[in-house]
Amino acid sequence: MDISEAIKIRNAMQHSGVIMAYNGTVSDDLMVSLAEILKARLEGLDDTKRSRTVFSVFMEGMQNLIWHGRTEQNPTGMVCISEHDGEMVVVCGNRIARSDSVKLKEILERLHYADKDTIRQLYREGMSRANDHEGPGAGLGLLEIARRATHPISYAFSDVDEQHVDFFLSARI
């Protein structure tokens, strides 16, 4: 990267109030390291409730990235935490199979329009659901994020090739 590109990235991050941003290989070790850094940063805030919520959403987001990357040689993902006007935003992104995106989109659509009571009820039902297919949390992680966010979670899919799409999830806290 030439220096003007680096400055552009720095300016964009500064403009968006980025506290922490990562893009690259994801692993359990990385999650633990980032969690430690984030915890230290959040301790500086007075709002312990918000800090706990941000931490929880970050952890579920990271675990989701790791889970989705488990079959890949070099699993990658991005996570970005920013603060602006007293609001924090956690964004996670990773590449998924196009075939998986159809069902995911349906779930996200449903969650986007669900009220807090409905999400809590879905969460309670999800607590007992076995871990067979969908992942270590089998959808509970997504419900955790939806439940903790102060606004409906938003998402985006961006085309990569015939088999893949990039998936981004954003939660405001």
Partner 1 sequence: MSTPADLQITATERTPEIQLSASNGLFSMKGESYPEDVAAFYGQIVHAVEQLPSVLNKPLEADIAMIYINSSSIKAIFRIFEGFEAVRRAGQPVTVRWHYTDDDDIMQELGEDFKDRFPDLSIEVKAS
- How many residues sit in the footprint of partner 1 (CB under 8 A)? 27
Of 8-16, 17-25, 68-76, 136-144, the segment contacting partner 1 by CB under 8 A is 136-144
Q: Which x/- pattern, by CB under 8 A, does the window 7-26 give for partner 1?
A: --------------------
Q: Does 108 bind partner 1 (CB under 8 A)?
A: no
Question: Which span sits near partner 1 by CB under 8 A: 18-26, 135-143, 155-163, 165-173?
Answer: 135-143
Residue 109 C-alpha from the chain's centroid: 16
How does DSSP classify residue 137?
Answer: S
Distance CA 68, CA 15 (A): 30
Nearer of residues 61 and 93 to partner 1, judged by Cβ:
61
Contact call for residue 138 and partner 1 (CB under 8 A): yes
Closest CA to 155 of 106, 98, 84, 99: 106
Q: Does 68 bind partner 1 (CB under 8 A)?
A: no
Task: Give the burial class of 41: count Cβ atoms within 10 A of its Cβ; 0-12 exposed, 13-18 middle, 19 or more buried.
Answer: middle
Side by side, the strands of the sheet bearing 87-97 are 18-25, 76-84, 87-97, 164-172, 154-159
Q: Which of 7, 136, 151, 156 binds partner 1 (CB under 8 A)?
A: 136
Work out which of 61, 75, 77, 141 binds partner 1, going by CB under 8 A: 141
Q: Quick check: 151 binds partner 1 (CB under 8 A)?
A: no
Q: Is 170 in the site for partner 1 (CB under 8 A)?
A: no
Crossing angle of the two packed helices 140-148 and 48-68, in degrees rounded to 10: 150
